[in-house]
Amino acid sequence: MTAPAVSVVICVYTEDRWEDILAAVASVRAQSRPALETLLVVDHNPALLDRLAAEYKEADGAVRVLANAGPRGLSAGRNTGVAASKGEVIAFLDDDAVAERDWLRHFAEGYADPRVLAVGGRTEPVWASGRRPAWFPEEFDWVVGCTYRGLPPGRVRVRNVLGGNASFRRTAFELAGGFATGIGRDGDRRPLGCEETELCIRISRARPGAVLLIDDRAVIHHRVPEARERFAYFRTRTYAEGLSKALVARSVGAAKGLESERRYTTRVLPAGIARGLRDAVLARPGGAGRAGAIVAGVLGAAGGYVVGSVRVRRGGPRFAVPPVEVGG
């Protein structure tokens, strides 16, 4: 079976990440299995749009620069990229990440099975300070957009992929529509998320036999700025995750929306607390801090979920699932 052509979408929004954007694009262009194209979708920033268009004007179509055609935010940017793309598979890479050389090759291999509609990969943190903060638990690496302790290793079937390092077969968007607007990130505002979780659940509902995979050989390295190494960001992000989960639960039901989270909170996190306390007893650096951060993270997410659920019941924030006019 011929491997599918892959379009890569990178959503960008600020010139502050200029060097990161160039590095992300360079990592795609250096793939062992070349991408069909790279699409840079600029989120309502005309200056950045013009600067990137000038940077890649000699790319002969290999890199295309587009303006977000929808409302401000990551979800609409991704939908713009899907609509403009030509590949059978659309991969997404964060604008502050670089992909290892075989990233797209491992993605493409996953689609040999026609039942597979999504393949995600492993995201490794690159800490601005040079090392992981001693108090920061690996179980919460999702706070900084990275693969966290508790996900199974290898190539495995999952409920959802993680959006900054993910790919979808084009037919997934034809079946289920695009990323929901009003739920994911919007530049530097409150760090909401879960748009990829909600999409993946919709895909599985639209085609019950669909297979969604994570292949931990498809690796990217994601930069974590110093501001996100601080406990204040950790606390804000976990609370925002709870708010986002409340929206997802309203859309797909709590049973499905919190299916993976139940195992995470009842098995993975208690084990993490135990490791932290053990390390504290053994006088290892950061043990007590990691145990405390896990507890704080759980409480923050739970608080956000309660507040979000109340807001939803009162007719508060909602999100829309737009149909996506897929390209190709």
Q: Looking at the predicted structure, is the pLDDT value of residue 82 above 70? A: yes
pLDDT at 186 over 60: no
pLDDT at 259: 67
Average pLDDT for residues 77-99, to the nearest whole number? 97
pLDDT value for 276? 97
* Predicted TM-score (pTM) of this structure: 0.91
Q: How sure is the predictor about 188, in pLDDT bands with cuts at 50, 70 and 90?
A: very low
Average pLDDT of the chain is: 91
Whether residue 191 is predicted with pLDDT greater than 70 in this model: the reply is no
Q: What is the mean pLDDT of residues 84-105?
A: 98
Question: What secondary structure, in 3-state letters, does the chain show?
Answer: CCCCCEEEEEEECCHHHHHHHHHHHHHHHCCCCCCCEEEEEECCCHHHHHHHHHHCCCCCCCEEEEECCCCCCHHHHHHHHHHHCCCCEEEEECCCEEECCCHHHHHHHHCCCCCEEEEEEEEEEEECCCCCCCCCCHHHHHHHCCCCECECCCEEECCCCCCCEEEEEHHHHHHHCCCCECCCCCCCCCCCCCHHHHHHHHHHHHCCCCEEEEEEEEEEEEEECHHHHCHHHHHHHHHHHHHHHHHHHHHHCHHHHCHHHHHHHHHHHHHHHHHHHHHHHCCCCCHHHHHHHHHHHHHHHHHHHHHHHHHHHCCCCCCECCCCCCCC
Q: Is 89 in contact with 18 (CB distance < 8 Å)? A: no
Instruction: Write the pLDDT tens digit of every residue in 231-250.
Output: 999 999 999 999 888 888 77
| pLDDT at residue number 181 | 82
Express as a percent the part of the chain with pLDDT over 90: 76
CA distance 242 to 263: 16
Question: In the prediction, which pLDDT does 187 show?
Answer: 47
* pLDDT for position 171: 96
Contact 119, 163 (CB under 8 A): no
Q: Is the pLDDT of residue 194 over 80?
A: no
Q: What is the pLDDT of residues 218-227, one digit of tens each?
A: 999 999 999 9
Please say if the pLDDT value at position 316 is more than 70. no
Confidence category of residue 2, pLDDT binned at 50, 70, 90: confident
Q: Is the pLDDT of residue 123 over 50?
A: yes
Q: Which residues contact 168 (CB under 8 A, 6 or more apart)?
A: 89, 90, 117, 118, 203
Condensed to tens digits (0 to 9), the pLDDT of residues 24-50 reads: 999 999 999 999 999 999 999 999 999
- Tell me which of 152 and 104 has the higher pLDDT: 104
Taking 80 as the threshold, does the pLDDT of residue 185 lie above it? no
Confidence of residue 161 (pLDDT cuts 50, 70, 90): very high
Residue 254 confidence (pLDDT) above 50: yes
297 in Cβ contact with 143 (< 8 Å):
yes
